[in-house]
């Protein structure tokens, strides 16, 4: 008699789970409608690409299952899973990088990469039926080598894209906003670890591939769940990626170098002392803004803050760069920390997390990090020492 464990821990059962999981998730992603925003084309393309990837996994899971019962089936299923991970790592890597990138990706390179992986995969699967010899060993060795090189290249590309996107977010919202894209980085780490683990399972004793197939199904479920959750709350993040924000140097370059009528007029007004008048207006508006404790509001874009101060985002940034010699984000963070220091002592019933949120920090880790950086102790230590951490025992 076969036990329940024997039935479950079976390569065919694992492949059936893979077929059902990838098929359902692929169709679900295709059916989800993305809200019509400025960024909707990019996110819709990403969604559809991930869906196609899952449906391709369905096809390969099914093909693997179809050959069940052939001699050395464990070896064949290992090669098929290697092909699945190689293709999906290309597609999913490009999808997440496209989600973060401020510019469009090179589709020609993407399809060329897919073509190369498909060609190598075809030869690899054909080699299963070859006689054992140096040709078969060479094909497998070259395939593994290319797989590792491909993974390393995409990891490097993702890191660059992630850093640029975080910088773009911070410029747009004037906040430390890495928490909003942290899930993408974590998902990518899980994805690449899952893809690379195929090499480990290929070296394990026969019969272990069924565990990896189940594990891969769980990975697809985890990946899809995070992405679907992101789709439900994407606007705040994606609007930042959809706009081109400017640094202080770019603002100065904009005022000095652009030749259209608007910039020429701005240069003439600057010569007449327009900047001084504009800066005085900004200074008065900032005084009122601070009195109203508007610095406690978070998830405000630079355009929204500039509009509240009755100026432009370029002049607001230029004012802080030339007059205060500090960027707006640092200046506002100091106001928030000062407010939090007072609140920690006056409102001892509220937790430090609540205090951070009331002070304008949307992320508790960022509040803790900024507090320690500016005050020299944690919020808890500040409260327990009654605002005198140096004298605490």
Looking at residue 120, what is its pLDDT?
A: 92
Question: Minimal CA–CA distance to 313: which of 225, 235, 251?
Answer: 251
DSSP string covering 323-378: IISS-HHHHHHHHHHHHHHHHHHH--SS-HHHHHHHHT-S-HHHHHHHHHHHHSS-
Listed range (99-108, 119-128, 147-156, 229-238) with the worst mean pLDDT: 229-238
Q: pLDDT per residue over 160-190, tens digit each?
A: 888 887 777 666 555 566 666 777 888 889 9
Looking at residue 275, what is its pLDDT?
A: 65
Q: Which residue has the tokens 């205090």?
A: 355
Looking at residue 251, what is its pLDDT?
A: 46
Question: Minimal CA–CA distance to 99: which of 36, 156, 164?
Answer: 164
Contact 244, 102 (CB under 8 A): yes
For the four alpha carbons of 44, 47, 50 and 56, in that order, the dihedral sign comes to negative
Are 369 and 291 members of one domain? no
Contact 107, 45 (CB under 8 A): no
Are 184 and 255 members of one domain? no
Q: Which of 242, 262, 284 is the last residue of a domain?
A: 242
The answer, yes or no, to whether residue 234 has pLDDT greater than 70, is: no
Contact 157, 105 (CB under 8 A): no
Contact 281, 310 (CB under 8 A): yes
Average pLDDT over residues 124-142: 89
The answer, yes or no, to whether residue 393 has pLDDT greater than 90, is: no
Regarding pTM above 0.85, the answer is no
Are 203 and 315 members of one domain? no
Are 153 and 292 members of one domain? no
> Comparing 205 with 17, which gets the higher pLDDT?
17
Boundaries of domain holding 393:
327-393
Q: Which of 305, 325, 345 is the last residue of a domain?
A: 325
CATH code (residue 344): 1.10.10.60
Q: Which residue has the tokens 């060609």?
A: 119
Mean pLDDT, all residues of the chain? 80
Q: Strand runs (DSSP E) across the chain, as ranges? A: none
State how far the Cα of 339 lies from the Cα of 363, in Å rounded to an integer: 16
Looking at residue 266, what is its pLDDT?
A: 52
Long-range contacts (CB closer than 8 Å, 24 or more residues apart) made by 109-117: 113/150, 114/87, 114/90, 117/86, 117/87, 117/90, 117/150
**60 pLDDT band (50/70/90 cuts)?**
very high
Are 173 and 46 members of one domain? yes
Q: pLDDT per residue over 366-382, tens digit each?
A: 888 888 888 888 888 88
Please give the structure tokens belonging to residue 315: 């002049």
Contact 248, 317 (CB under 8 A): yes
Contacts (Cβ under 8 Å, ≥6 apart) of 301: 172, 173, 239, 240
Contact 58, 220 (CB under 8 A): no
Contact 210, 9 (CB under 8 A): yes
Average pLDDT over residues 152-156: 91
Question: Minimal CA–CA distance to 375: which of 362, 365, 388?
Answer: 388
Looking at residue 237, what is its pLDDT?
A: 44
State how far the Cα of 31 lies from the Cα of 299, in Å rounded to an integer: 30
Name the percent of the chain lying above pLDDT 90.
20
CATH code (residue 135): 1.20.1070.10
Q: pLDDT per residue over 237-276, tens digit each?
A: 444 444 443 334 444 455 555 555 555 555 555 544 556 7
Please give the structure tokens belonging to residue 245: 């924000």
Contact 378, 194 (CB under 8 A): no
Are 223 and 252 members of one domain? no
Are 206 and 63 members of one domain? yes
Looking at residue 233, what is its pLDDT?
A: 58
Listed range (7-11, 31-35, 116-120, 234-238) with the worst mean pLDDT: 234-238
Listed range (199-208, 228-237, 309-318) with the worst mean pLDDT: 228-237
The answer, yes or no, to whether residue 3 has pLDDT greater than 50, is: no
- H-helix or E-strand containing 106? none
Q: Is 67 helix (H, G, I), strand (E, B) or coil?
A: coil
Are 320 and 363 members of one domain? no
Are 314 and 200 members of one domain? no
Looking at residue 104, what is its pLDDT?
A: 62
Looking at residue 145, what is its pLDDT?
A: 93
Are 271 and 165 members of one domain? no
> Comparing 254 with 81, which gets the higher pLDDT?
81
Main-chain phi, psi angles of 132, to 5 degrees: -60, 135
Looking at residue 84, what is its pLDDT?
A: 93
State how far the Cα of 373 lies from the Cα of 365, in Å rounded to an integer: 12
Q: Which of 301, 325, 349 is the last residue of a domain?
A: 325
Looking at residue 2, what is its pLDDT?
A: 42
Number of domains in the chain: 3
Please give the structure tokens belonging to residue 299: 């998830």
Are 76 and 96 members of one domain? yes
Are 182 and 271 members of one domain? no
C-alpha to C-alpha distances, 391 to 93, 127, 385, nearest whole angstrom: 52, 73, 8
Contact 39, 239 (CB under 8 A): yes
Q: pLDDT per residue over 323-380, tens digit each?
A: 888 888 888 888 898 999 888 888 888 888 888 888 888 778 888 888 888 888 888 8
Side-chain-facing half-sphere of 20: CA atoms under 13 Å: 8
């Amino acid at each position: 008699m076969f036990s329940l464990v024997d039935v479950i821990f079976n390569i065919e059962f694992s492949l059936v789970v893979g077929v059902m999981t990838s098929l359902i998730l692929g169709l679900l992603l295709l059916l989800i409608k993305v809200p019509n925003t400025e960024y909707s084309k990019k996110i819709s393309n990403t969604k559809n690409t991930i869906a196609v990837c899952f449906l391709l996994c369905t096809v390969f899971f099914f093909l693997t299952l179809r050959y069940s019962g052939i001699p050395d089936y464990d070896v064949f299923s290992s090669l098929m899973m290697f092909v699945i991970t190689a293709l999906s790592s290309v597609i999913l890597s490009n999808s997440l990088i496209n989600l973060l990138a401020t510019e469009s990706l090179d589709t020609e390179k993407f399809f060329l990469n897919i073509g190369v992986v498909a060609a190598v995969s075809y030869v690899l699967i054909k080699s299963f039926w070859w006689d054992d010899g140096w040709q078969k060993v060479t094909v497998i060795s070259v395939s593994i080598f290319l797989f590792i090189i491909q993974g390393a290249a995409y990891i490097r590309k993702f890191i660059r894209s992630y850093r640029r996107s975080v910088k773009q977010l911070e410029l747009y919202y004037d906040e430390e906003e890495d928490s909003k894209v942290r899930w993408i980085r974590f998902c990518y780490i899980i994805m690449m670890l899952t893809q690379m683990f195929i090499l480990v399972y290929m070296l394990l004793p026969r019969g272990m591939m069924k565990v990896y197939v189940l594990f891969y199904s769980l990975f697809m479920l985890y990946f899809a769940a995070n992405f679907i959750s992101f789709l439900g709350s994407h606007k705040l993040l994606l609007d930042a990626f959809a706009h081109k924000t400017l640094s202080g140097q770019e603002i100065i370059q904009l005022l000095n170098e652009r030749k259209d009528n608007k910039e020429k007029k701005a240069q003439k007004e600057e010569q007449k002392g327009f900047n001084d008048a504009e800066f005085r207006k900004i200074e008065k508006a900032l005084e009122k803004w601070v009195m109203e404790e508007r610095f406690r509001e978070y998830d405000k874009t630079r355009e929204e803050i500039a509009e509240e101060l009755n100026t432009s985002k370029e002049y607001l940034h230029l004012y802080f760069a030339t007059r205060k010699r500090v960027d707006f984000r640092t200046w506002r963070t100091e106001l928030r920390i000062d407010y939090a220091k007072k609140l920690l002592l006056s409102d001892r019933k509220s937790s430090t997390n609540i205090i951070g949120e009331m002070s304008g920090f949307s992320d508790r880790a960022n509040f803790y990090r900024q507090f320690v950086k500016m005050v020299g102790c944690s919020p808890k230590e500040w409260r327990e020492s009654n605002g005198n951490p140096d004298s605490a025992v």
